[in-house]
Amino acid sequence: MTLKLDLFRSKKAVLTAIGLALIAGTTLAQTATPEPIQWDKRRLEQLERNVRRIDRALNQASAAGEPVILQTDPEVLALQGRVSTLDRRLDDVEATLQRVNGDVERLTFQLDESTRDNAALRARLTDTDRRLKTFEDAARAEAELNAPITAHSPTGDAAQDLALAVRMVTAEPARGARALETVVVTWPDTPQAREANLALGDMRATANDLAGAVQAYAAALSGWPRTPWAAEATVKLATALEASDRDTQACGALGEFTRRYAEGATPALRTRATQVKTRAGCN
């Protein structure tokens, strides 16, 4: 840029422009590229002296009416070129980042969809596992309940086996009934086997399995035992026989009740026996 000294309004403005140009790496009428300057205290003092010399030179040129030509430092031009290159590269990086951001958003959406699909699949698998376990447990229980009854003593004692079976009846009736049957098979011809049959008769009568109830009561009363529960068990046997239209057998059971247990029975139990006898048409 060429500036004529008569256009400057003040010497101060000229000095300021020249100082800024020197700090930016400009030189007066020079074309050689200087080494990068380290602006320490010594160089700043040298710059101040140079500015004063230039001030004097400008004053002399102004007095002589000569023009002053300021040339841009080649290093500045090189830096400007590098800045332009960096700007282009930054633009490229920004465009790349925009594409990457778009890809990230798309991948994030796909990941969210995959996460939802995985959660739904996991829920279905959990439900399937639960249902499968339920089926397996039911099949295992069914196989256990349908397996042949064999002699087996969980405790090694008839009384304890019976007590365990009675408790099981309350918690799991089906398994409890099987436990009672196991007591009968394991401890035949024992008081515990009779009581187990009595309990089985009660369970079957409640389930309206009259044939099963009759069989169990009859087994409990085999030999007409003299036990505290025998009188009531005989009336229960007669009741099940009468309810299954086996009146003759019901009357026979009531006859045994009268001969063996009526004298020591409670009034309520004798009343029940009379009612069954009436329904069965006993003489």
Considering its fold, how many domains does the chain have in total? Answer: 2
Q: Identify which has the larger pLDDT, 33 or 258.
A: 258
Q: Is the pLDDT of residue 252 over 80?
A: yes
Whichever domain contains 183, its CATH number is 1.25.40.10
For residue 13, name the pLDDT band (cuts at 50, 70, 90): very low
Of 37, 72, 107, the one marking the end of a domain is 72
The verdict on 163 and 258 lying in the same domain is yes
Which pLDDT tens digit goes with each residue over 81-90? 777 888 888 8
122 is a domain residue: no
Which pLDDT tens digit goes with each residue over 42-51? 777 777 787 7
Integer Rg of the chain from CA: 58
Q: Is the pLDDT of residue 152 over 70?
A: yes
User: Distance between CA atoms of 154 and 261, rounded to whole angstroms?
Assistant: 35
Q: Where are the alpha helices (DSSP H) in the chain?
A: 11-23, 41-64, 74-146, 158-171, 173-186, 191-206, 210-220, 230-243, 247-256, 267-280
255 is a domain residue: yes
CB 222 within 8 A of CB 260: no
The parent domain of residue 63 ranges over 2-72
Q: Is 136 exposed, middle or buried (0-12, 13-18, 19+ CB in 10 A)?
A: exposed
151 is a domain residue: no
The verdict on 166 and 266 lying in the same domain is yes
User: Distance between CA atoms of 70 and 21, rounded to whole angstroms?
Assistant: 9
* Mean pLDDT on 177-188: 95
Phi-psi region of 189 (alpha: psi -120 to 50; beta: other; left: phi over 0): left
User: Distance between CA atoms of 133 and 148, rounded to whole angstroms?
Assistant: 24
The verdict on 164 and 276 lying in the same domain is yes
262 is a domain residue: yes
CA angle 125, 130, 132 (to 5 degrees): 90
116 is a domain residue: no
User: Distance between CA atoms of 31 and 125, rounded to whole angstroms?
Assistant: 81
Of 21, 51, 72, the one marking the end of a domain is 72
- In 10 A of CB 165, how many CB atoms? 25
Q: Identify which has the larger pLDDT, 12 or 214.
A: 214
99 is a domain residue: no
pTM of the complete model beyond 0.75: no
Q: Is 32 exposed, middle or buried (0-12, 13-18, 19+ CB in 10 A)?
A: exposed
For residue 11, name the pLDDT band (cuts at 50, 70, 90): very low
Of 72, 98, 128, the one marking the end of a domain is 72
Look at the block and give the residue holding tokens 């990457």.
Answer: 100
Which pLDDT tens digit goes with each residue over 101-136? 888 888 888 888 888 888 888 888 888 888 878 777
